[in-house]
Chains A and B, each alone.
Chain A
């Protein structure tokens, strides 16, 4: 394979993997800390993308801002939405069995999908790449690579680094990590667990929405995008081990590479490669690469 093409595919794989990590980390955090399996997590990705599409003209008109500002607005709104949803709905799920959580969040997906349909409609939309990111870089003699895709990877890496810093260097991060391994202890330490959960949930939602917003220019905005990403995220979490951020990162990169190169080498079986990877991992490590 031409080294330039190999490099392009590697960059694609990394970018896809990093996006997946953003969404999957929220999912695994929410499950690891709060014990909630949230089927509607993919919907937040979809909401982020649709928000980016719908709010862009508004942000341009009222705030005079461009793409970056739109994304920031999306993230802020998503955080507020997450905070509200936890209070209004998800807080009632803690005491319920996983099965009930699965089905109630399944119902929530239907609600979200229909609300989106009412508010924005069912059409497929494109989100334009901002002009200052619309160029390409040269790779070798003939090949070029879109700057925007590099931008996506950069944003994801920055967010991941930020996440790592928060988790390891701040009090909030310490509480989160403690909560992940021992929920009962947190309560007895006098930490307001309700607020902690609300914050964690809001962060999870914000991460998914951010991923959706910045992915929108490349993947376009379409109704089924949330569900598609959700199932892949499940695979990431199964491979990485539930509750483990490290695992989610490694697994997301693995999935990114398998999917990208799978499409290159086995285009007919492209959609299936990721599941075969999962099956292979299950043969040797049924509890994921990093047990929580």
Chain B
């Protein structure tokens, strides 16, 4: 019964999302695409944080590396070929993840948070201080890459609606991939590692290997989001790798809820909309330009009030009514 209800809900949402382009303005369409890209970005971090227990404060690096990859390697005179630009961008992100992850995963807890932040900052400086990425000015992507087999253009994403559906497809595929991954034996092991790594080692799991693979996959998926972001606006600059981005996407995961995969999507939607609201002149008038203040306060309040995120609200409510029996162990 619950399954049917859920399926109906999903179909309704899907229909809504797909019908949006027909009545939304260009601005709102762009906003929804931005939300979808951030949802993908947040999902990729959810694999690390919610599923494996690896709190990374440096996730923006992989987003940015992929974005720069596609921008730097796209020809200036015409559309590049996505068949190698997309995998290339993902692999570039994964390569950085493999090297930094192998080092960062030697640490735990608060050290891990700080080390991931530091490695992201390192990547930031590479793009910020060198001529590689045009420095602080950033660089432009002039033509959106297309899927091309020889001379046959299979898919061209210049059209706003086509790009919209393409982004949606990427998001859904990533979601499906992660759901299947978490259901598999690999995912079950990750869950065990998150709850009690020592126990998993005692059983015979080489946990470092698992964590590194999960880390690399998650960072590779962040690369997909970065690719889409670069392609969407056609412009990248070093601020994509700044730690404010890392903090923002981590917020999305936490506020959305670490206990469920879709918490990341919920968090991305909520936070992006929140930012839009606080920047709205219609609601805040002059104060809208000072939106960092209201946004910062909102973050503090929300994190304090929602320890399990939005997705965990039903559980939080239920536990408030019931006396504490077993402590709320992480769901899933």
Contact = CB atoms under 8 A, between A and B. Distances in A.
A and B in direct contact, judged by CB atoms within 8 A: yes
Interface stretch (A136-144, A203-211, A231-239): A231-239
B126 interface: yes
A110 B299 contact: yes
Given A103-B303, A286-B111, A110 B118 contact: no
B323 interface: no
B55 to A, nearest CB: 6
| Interface size range of chain A in the complex | 35 or more
Nearest to B119: A275
Contacts of B297: 107, 111
A278 B118 contact: yes
Interface in B241-280: 243, 247, 250-251, 254
Interface string B183-212: 000000000000000000000000000000
Interface stretch (B35-43, B74-82, B100-108, B140-148): B100-108
Contact of B118 (A99, A242, A270, A275): A275
Contacts of B300: 104, 107-108, 111
Given A111-B293, A271-B128, A279-B103, A100 B307 contact: yes
B314 interface: no
Contacts of B119: 275, 279
Contacts of A268: 129-130
Nearest to A231: B121
B228 interface: no
B304 interface: yes
A170 interface: no
Main SS of the interface on chain A?
helix
Contacts of A195: none
A39 B113 CA distance: 11
B290 A114 contact: yes
Contacts of B106: 282-283, 286
A272 B122 contact: yes
Interface string B292-315: 110111111001100100000000
A164 interface: no
B293 A110 contact: yes
Most chain A CB inside 10 Å of its own CB: which residue of B111, B126, B250, B297: B111
A31 B109 CA distance: 13
Interface of B: 55, 57, 100, 103-104, 106-107, 109-111, 113-115, 117-119, 121-122, 125-126, 128-130, 243, 247, 250-251, 254, 290, 292-293, 295-300, 303-304, 307
